[in-house]
Amino acid sequence: MITLVWDVDDVLNPLMRSWFEKSWLRRHHGCDLAYGGISANPPHKLLGVTKREYLASLDQFRLSDEYRKMKPVADVYSWFRRHGKNFRHIALTATPSETAAVSAGWVLEHFGMWIRSYNFVPSKREGVQIPRYDRTKREYLSWLGKGDVLIDDSLANLKEAKSIGMQTVLISQPWNGGRQTISESLESLTLMFRS
């Protein structure tokens, strides 16, 4: 079977939108940026804070009940219900080691019927020292030796996946210049393997 490798945040779930609307805007009433204006990821410069402050806020949200309550991206969940059984699925995300268990729990709760393997490349955090087997998703996927298609919102991750022979699907977000809707991107994924 074809193996699809899914990014988690901003692909399976709406992390950036949820964090921005349910955490950042509630604590920063003077912020006049709209979600659609987040043209960079990470968006710390747009928000007028340091990268460290942004990451601390995002990580705090990742450990909150609001993260656990996030619903899957509707179009993605609908695609899994229709087509999920036709593929093998791997989750591969970049998240700090301290938030990985919550992320894994979220994935298994919502997508565990299809995604049976959760993997992460630890995002660096100041003061946290852990063994780093892989620094990027490309390094992890090269080691794993599995995966036919990477579905991600990061252009850099997709470029690296292509460099090791994988096909890719971009999930459009304000920061990546994608022009297709999520539904259109997933339809292109389905058509890749329709015979």
pLDDT tens for residues 117-141?
A: 999 999 989 888 888 799 999 999 9
Token pair listed for 183: 């539904």
Neighbours of 171 (CB within 10 A): 25
Is residue 128 within 8 A of residue 56, CB to CB? The reply is: no
Cα–Cα distances in Å, from 62 out to 56, 85, 92, 141, 165?
10, 29, 16, 24, 32
pLDDT digits (tens, 9 = 90+) for 5-40: 999 999 999 999 999 999 999 999 999 999 999 999
Sheet containing 167-170, strands listed edge to edge, beginning at the edge strand earlier in sequence: 115-122, 88-95, 3-6, 149-152, 167-170
pLDDT band at 71 (very low <50, low <70, confident <90, very high): very high
What torsion do the CA atoms of 105, 94, 2, 75 make, to the nearest 10 degrees?
70
What pTM value is reported for the model?
0.95
pLDDT band at 73 (very low <50, low <70, confident <90, very high): very high
> Mean pLDDT across the stretch 56-77?
97
Kindly tell me if the per-residue pLDDT of 165 is higher than 80. Answer: yes
What share of the chain in percent tops pLDDT 90?
92
